[in-house]
Amino acid sequence: MCGRFAITLPTDAMARLFAATPANDLPEAVRYNICPTNPVAVVTSDAGARHLRPMRWGFLPHWYKTPTAGPLLINARAETIAEKPAFRAACRARRCLIPATGFYEWTKTEAGARLPWYIHRRDGAPIAFAGVWQAWEAQDQAFVTCAIVTTRANQPMSKIHHRMPVSLPPEDWPLWLGEAGKGAARLMEPAPDETFAFHRVDPAVNSNRAAGPALIAPVEA
C-alpha cells in the first residue's frame, strides 16, 4: 500500500530527470505530505513524447457518477490490475510514472498508537512509482486521475507492511510508458531488498494538514 508520499524535486529537475515537457499548471513541487485527492505531477508518454502533467491522486472509474460514488482508488494491486474492471483498460493503454522522494507507512503499538515510518531509496535517488491513469467527467466536473501500482513487500519492507509500491529504475521507464513495446507486466515486482531504507518519523505526519521538511526527519524508534 502507499497512502502518503513526499516529493522534494523542483519541477524543472523532474522534467529533466524524465525528459518530459512540463505543463503550465503543475502543483507545487516540493511537498512533504501528499495525501489522497491531492494534485500530483505525473509522467505520461504520447507516441514517445513525454509530458509532466497534473493529475488527482485517486483513480475514478468512468462509471462513477460523482467523485464519491465509490471507493477512492489510490492504489491498484499488481496481482489483479489486468482483471479488475476499474483498471484493466488503463493497465493496457494508460500507464504513467509518479515521481516521489519517499513514502510513508505505519505500524501500531500494542496500545493501538500509529507509528509512522519514512521509506526512501538508500542511494538518495528519486523514486518513480508505476501508475495508471484515467480521465473522468460527469455533471460538469472533470478530473484526470491516477493510482499507484502496489505489489507484495520485499523482505525488509515486510517488517513494516505487507505491501509496497512498484518502483521502477530508469531503464524500465520506456517499457512501462509503452515506448518499448509489450511486456510491462513483468515489471510489477517488489524492488530488490537493498533498494530502500526507512526510519521512524514524528507522528505529526499522521495529520493530513502537517507540512514541512521536519516530517521526514528521523526520530528515535
Q: How far apart are CA 68 and CA 102, in angstroms?
A: 28
- 103 found inside a domain: yes
Domain of residue 100 covers 5-216
Q: Is the residue at 221 inside a domain?
A: no
What local confidence, expressed as pLDDT, does residue 110 receive? 84
Rounded CA gap, 175 and 49, in Å?
Answer: 14
Evaluate if residue 1 carries a pLDDT over 80.
no
Pairing of strands 114-121, 31-34: unpaired
In terms of residues, how long is the chain? 221
Give whole-number Cα distances, 150 to 36, 140, 171, in Å: 15, 32, 19
Q: What does the pLDDT read at residue 132? A: 98
Contact partners, residue 172, CB within 8 Å, separation at least 6? 187
- What pLDDT is recorded for position 47? 87
- The per-residue pLDDT for 188 is 98
Is pLDDT above 80 for 134? yes
Asked whether residue 62 is assigned to any structural domain, the reply reads yes
Determine the pLDDT at residue 2: 85
Backbone dihedral angles phi then psi of residue 141, each to the nearest 5 degrees:
-115, 145
Q: In this structure, what CATH number is given to the domain that contains residue 126?
A: 3.90.1680.10
Percent of the chain at pLDDT exceeding 70: 100
Q: Identify whether 165 is part of a domain.
A: yes
What letter would DSSP give residue 159?
G
> Do strands 141-152 and 49-57 pair parallel, antiparallel, or not at all (unpaired)?
parallel
**pTM, whole model, 2 decimals?**
0.96
AA letter at 16: R
93 sits in which H/E element: helix 88-93
Mean pLDDT in residue range 135-154: 95
DSSP 61: -
Give yes or no for a contact between 84 and 76, defined as CB atoms under 8 angstroms apart: yes
Bridge-based pairing state of the strands 49-57 and 39-46: antiparallel
Please indicate, yes or no, if residue 98 is contained in any of the structural domains. Answer: yes
The confidence band for 203, taking pLDDT boundaries of 50, 70 and 90, is: very high
Number of domains observed in the structure of the chain: 1
Residue 31 has what pLDDT? 97
Q: Name residue 150's beta-bridge partners.
A: 77, 165
- Assigned domain for 209 exists: yes
What percent of the chain shows pLDDT beyond 90? 92
Beta-strand (E) ranges in 123-189? 127-138, 141-152, 163-165
Positive or negative, the CA dihedral 14, 117, 176, 125 is positive
Banded model confidence at residue 109, pLDDT cuts 50, 70, 90: confident
Confidence of residue 111 (pLDDT cuts 50, 70, 90): confident
Categorize the per-residue pLDDT at 113 as very low, low, confident or very high, splitting at 50, 70 and 90. confident
Q: Model confidence over 37-85: pLDDT tens digits?
A: 999 999 999 988 999 999 999 999 999 999 999 999 999 999 999 999 9
